[in-house]
Structure 1
Amino acid sequence: MSNSFTYKDKDVGVGDRVHVIQKVFESGKERRQIFIGTLIKVKGESENRTVTVRRIGENKIGIEKIFSVNNPFLEDIVVAHEGHKGTRKAKIYYIRHKSKKEIDKSSSRNKKKEAKK
């Protein structure tokens, strides 16, 4: 199991805040749909690789979406904010039971520890 991978010469890892851009065809028209969230799982190897992205929607409801990395409709994965380097797990399911505030608090605590070193 790996907790990071390379997508179009960019390193993407578990815990990163990402923007997943994909093409959507509706009524004969093409548009781009952007899903913004935290990467919580990387699964598979090379052409079978999938990633799971989680975000908090309206009314504090968690939304998870699974993307196949080699899907032709997947345009790009952009890393908006790198997760803290202390993530040792390939699947960070424990984020499901934490609020957004608790997640930000724990990542900022790790940043302070790294700054002291």
Structure 2
Amino acid sequence: MNAEQIIKSIEAEHLKPNLPVIHVGDTVRVGVRIIEGGKERVQPYEGTIIAMGNSGINKTITVRRVFQGVGVERVFLLHSPRIANIQVIRRGKVRRAKLYYLRDRVGKATRIQQRFDRPL
């Protein structure tokens, strides 16, 4: 076995098998594990996926939401143990791979049309 095959076999052990099918433009609720003191809890983070990157164990999504009038973006590693769950709330109809143009829009201009041909 060469080095590339060894790396892929090690990565395959850590991939999460039960991730939902998600696309750019979808509104998702990501459950993030947070450890405070000695306790662990799951904090939901809901927003629109504006970008997806990489593949395999390094697959990431960038989720954007507006909180108290300020745009907040977080990048999540999908196969990270810090991610408890991902739930698709709404399917979005977009024609771009990256929705960075939403950063410049305010209010109702940031809405994305709903897509009904894909199940939740």
Q: TM-score band (shorter)?
A: 0.7 to 0.9
Cα deviations by residue, 1:44-84 (Å, 9 ceiling, x for unpaired): 011111110000010x1000001011111101111101001
SS at match of 1:71: coil
User: Residue 14 of structure 2 aligns with which residue?
Assistant: none
Secondary structure at 2:80's aligned position in 1?
coil
Distance (Å, rounded) in 1 between the aligned partners of 2:45 and 2:19:
21
Question: 1:73-112, CA deviations, whole angstroms, 9 ceiling, x for partnerless residues?
Answer: 101111101001xx232211011111231132x626xx7x
Q: Is the 8 A contact 2:34 2:82 kept in 1?
A: yes
Normalising by structure 2, what TM-score?
0.76
Cα contact 2:64–2:71 (8 A) shared by 1: yes
Structure 1 unaligned regions, length at least 5? 1-6, 112-117
Task: State the partner residue of 2:9.
Answer: none
Which residue, 87, 91, 103 being the options, matches 1:82? 91
Q: Which structure dedicates a bigger proportion of its chain to strand?
A: 1
Aligned residues: CA RMSD: 1.9
Which of the pair has more CA radius of gyration? 2
1:67 aligns with 2:76: yes
With the length of structure 1 as denominator, give the TM-score of the two structures: 0.78
Q: 1:33 to 1:9 in 2, by over 3 A?
A: closer
The answer to whether the aligner puts 1:15 opposite 2:25 as a matched pair is yes
SS in 2 for 1:101: helix
Displacement of 1:9 in angstroms is 5.0
Count of paired positions: 100
1:97 match: 104
SS at match of 1:102: helix
Report whether the alignment pairs 1:29 with 2:29: no
Report the secondary structure of 2:33's partner residue. Answer: strand
Using a 3 Å threshold, how does the CA distance of structure 1 residues 66 and 48 change in structure 2: closer, same or farther?
same
Counterpart for residue 60 of structure 2: 50
